[in-house]
């Protein structure tokens, strides 16, 4: 039975990571998700893959924007996707932002494979295409609302970003989920752009997760406090609480997959095919 094989592989794979942050149960849940995603993807038809991608795309983009200072409703995002136009009362700039996120969501996993300063600048430029404010590193001082941490001065932003990218490309014993969270936190600390750091940072984190075989995030506005609390904990140097906060939210977003056990996996539409192997 493939479900049993998935569980066995998840156990074996989770044992290969050496980390002081996530416990064994969390690592097992993440590896279970990775192998289950792989199996489901192999069994899906092309039409099923397209439908699932479209459904997840709306949830992920809504979640990304839900954590920003100017969130949109799920219904607004669906309307923009369906009609490629602005719902009544919505600024054109927001519509363009959503449409850019839709396009970038489909490309982000591939872009992460060659992540560098130039590709991050291009991501930001593409996100804010047509606004004249994309793809330029900040030239002024910045602050992090709700945190005592002070981002580096503008003159050091490029060096700090290069250092972060070097850290990302170096080998690490940490789990990809932990590395994605730590990268995201440091990216927010560096605050490389005048605006859009949260949107682009969460987009990059999703690309890192998907690239490693995991699912993208599905934040909601109710996650905002936990998200910000995690970032503030990281600003204090508390990586454990930073990663823990992100993991708790992520686990809730994907509970059927990471929770374990046959009943949890039974929610997947391809359950009968998985059991047939």
Q: pLDDT value at position 92?
A: 82
Give the CA count within 13 Å in the CB-facing half-sphere of 88.
Answer: 0
Give the CA count within 13 Å in the CB-facing half-sphere of 133.
Answer: 12
pLDDT in tens, 237-261: 999 999 999 999 999 999 888 876 5
Q: pLDDT value at position 91?
A: 84
**134/196 Cα distance (integer angstroms):** 9
**258/264 Cα distance (integer angstroms):** 8
pLDDT in tens, 124-141: 999 988 777 788 999 998
Domains of the chain, each with CATH number or no CATH: 2-276 (1.10.3290.10)
Contacts 24+ apart (CB under 8 A), 261-270: 262/3, 265/3, 265/6, 265/36, 268/36, 268/40, 269/48, 270/39, 270/40, 270/43, 270/44
Residues 6+ apart with CB under 8 A from 77: 58, 61, 62, 65, 98
The continuous run of DSSP H or E covering 252 comes out as helix 239-253
The pair of structure tokens assigned to 132 is: 């004249």
Contacts 24+ apart (CB under 8 A), 179-188: 179/208, 180/205, 180/208, 180/209, 180/212, 181/205, 181/230, 181/242, 181/243, 181/246, 181/247, 182/234, 182/239, 182/242, 182/243, 183/208, 185/230, 185/231, 185/234, 185/242, 188/144, 188/231
Residues 6+ apart with CB under 8 A from 143: 150, 151
Under 8 Å between Cβ of 14 and 35: no
Q: Is 12 left (phi over 0), alpha (psi -120 to 50) or beta?
A: alpha
Please write down the HEC assignment for all residues of 18-47. CCCCCCHHHHHHHHHHHHHHHHHHHHCCHH
Rounded to 5 degrees, φ, ψ at 57 are -60, -45
Residue stretches of the chain with pLDDT short of 70 = 1, 84-86, 260-277
Q: pLDDT value at position 163?
A: 98
The pair of structure tokens assigned to 11 is: 């156990």
Under 8 Å between Cβ of 81 and 102: yes
Q: DSSP alpha helices (H): ranges in 67-141? A: 74-83, 92-112, 117-127
């Amino acid at each position: 039975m493939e479900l049993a094989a998935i569980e066995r592989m998840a156990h074996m794979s989770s044992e290969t990571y050496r980390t002081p942050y996530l416990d064994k149960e969390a690592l097992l849940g993440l590896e279970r998700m990775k192998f289950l995603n792989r199996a489901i993807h192999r069994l899906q038809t092309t039409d099923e893959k397209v439908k699932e991608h479209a459904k997840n795309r709306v949830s992920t983009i809504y979640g990304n924007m839900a954590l920003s200072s100017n969130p949109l409703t799920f219904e607004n995002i669906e309307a923009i996707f369906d009609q490629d136009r602005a719902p009544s009362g919505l600024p054109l700039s927001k519509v363009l932002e959503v449409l850019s996120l839709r396009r970038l969501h489909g490309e982000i996993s591939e872009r992460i494979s060659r992540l560098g300063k130039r590709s991050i600048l291009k991501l930001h430029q593409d996100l804010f295409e047509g606004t004249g404010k994309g793809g330029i590193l900040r030239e002024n001082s910045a602050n992090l609302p709700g945190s005592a941490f002070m981002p580096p001065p503008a003159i050091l932003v490029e060096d700090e970003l290069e250092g972060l990218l070097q850290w990302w490309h170096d080998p690490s014993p940490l789990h990809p989920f932990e590395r994605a969270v730590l990268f995201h936190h440091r990216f927010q600390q560096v605050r490389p752009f005048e605006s859009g750091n949260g949107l682009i940072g969460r987009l990059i984190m999703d690309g890192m997760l998907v690239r490693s075989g995991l699912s993208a995030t599905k934040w909601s506005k109710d996650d905002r406090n936990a998200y910000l609390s995690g970032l503030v904990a990281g600003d204090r140097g508390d990586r454990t609480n930073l990663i823990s906060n992100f993991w708790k939210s992520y686990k809730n977003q994907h509970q059927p997959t990471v929770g374990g056990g046959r009943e949890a996996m039974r929610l997947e539409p391809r359950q009968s095919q998985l059991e047939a192997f």
